[in-house]
Amino acid sequence: MQKQIPFMQSLLLGLVGLGSFIGLWHGLAVSGLILDVFLPSPVEVYDRFTTLLDRRFAGATLPGHLFASFQRFAYGFVLAALIGIPLGLLMGWYQLLDEIVSPLFDALRFVAPIAWVPFAALWFGTGIGGPIMIIFAGAFPPCVINAYRGAKFVDPRLIEAANMLGTPSHRVIREVLLPSSVPSIISGLRVSAGLGWQSLVGAELIVASAGVGYMMVQGQANVSTTTVMAGMVAIGLVGLALDSALRLAERIIQRRRGLEN
């Protein structure tokens, strides 16, 4: 590994990197080597993005589509957390449950969340129920796995100490096991938010009549590359905001525990 380079220099290099990436994109778009229909310039994408903020496309404005997407995401994500975290914790605490559920869970894990789309559409329709189920399918496994890890890898000395002092088992769960698995649960939530958001986009591309994914499919059908790209930007921004919020929560909890490294 090379030596650290000074901060200013690395900032400068970063700007050069970003600048040449955007410059190359802009140059290719403006030069006419690639048809404008296929590769609009960054300026056009930005223009389209701002236009979509208050003009309807595919039934709603961009904020309207984002709201529809986010609402579905929130339902699916909360549902996954509400079911997944208790299941994972119980699997970590009770070996028999772990041995019963694990084989089923492992078998289902290999089904890509998106492969649930046909059944989701069949069972819950394409409005709000179907997409929620896909988000659930994407967000559920990380919730379970991380809660399980959190519960399973509690420092045994803590449990032994609690037992030695004669703590009743419900208090051991509430005051020892649960608090010590929180950091792992939060990391799991972050992973599952990412996967859930990604599954939502996939679901909206295939079955939905509103949402950013739907807007992008309509953009694609109308050969409006700027709309597609504006949708990608919006999806990226919301995903980034979600991840940052959960990252912040993770850091706050770790700091309160003195676990920060």
- Residue closer to other proteins by CB (options 178, 205) is 205
Closest CB 235 distance from other proteins, rounded Å:
5
Q: Which residues bind other proteins (CB under 8 A)?
A: 1-5, 9-11, 13-18, 21, 38, 96, 99-104, 107-108, 110-119, 121-123, 194, 197-199, 201-202, 205-206, 213, 216-217, 219-220, 223, 225, 228-229, 231-233, 235-237, 239-240, 243
Closest CB 171 distance from other proteins, rounded Å:
30
Distance CA 100, CA 168 (A): 26
Buried b (16+ CB within 10 A) or exposed e, 174-190: eebbbebbbbbbbbbbb
- Residue closer to other proteins by CB (options 181, 226) is 226
Q: Tokens 């699997």 label which residue?
A: 91
- Residue closer to other proteins by CB (options 39, 253) is 39
- Residue closer to other proteins by CB (options 55, 109) is 109
Distance CA 218, CA 204 (A): 11
- Residue closer to other proteins by CB (options 104, 164) is 104
| Alpha helices, H only, 55-129 | 62-93, 95-109, 117-124
CA atoms within 13 A on the CB side of 103: 3
Question: What pairs with residue 57 in β-bridges?
Answer: 60
- Residue closer to other proteins by CB (options 176, 189) is 189
Closest CB 96 distance from other proteins, rounded Å:
8
Distance CA 232, CA 204 (A): 13
Helix axis angle for 130-152 and 62-93, nearest 10°, is 40
Distance CA 207, CA 125 (A): 9
Closest CB 161 distance from other proteins, rounded Å:
28
Closest CB 243 distance from other proteins, rounded Å:
7
Closest CB 116 distance from other proteins, rounded Å:
8
Q: Name residue 157's amino acid.
A: R
Closest CB 215 distance from other proteins, rounded Å:
10
Residue 19 Cα distances to 22, 26, 42, 47, 150, angstroms: 5, 10, 12, 19, 43
- Residue closer to other proteins by CB (options 167, 194) is 194
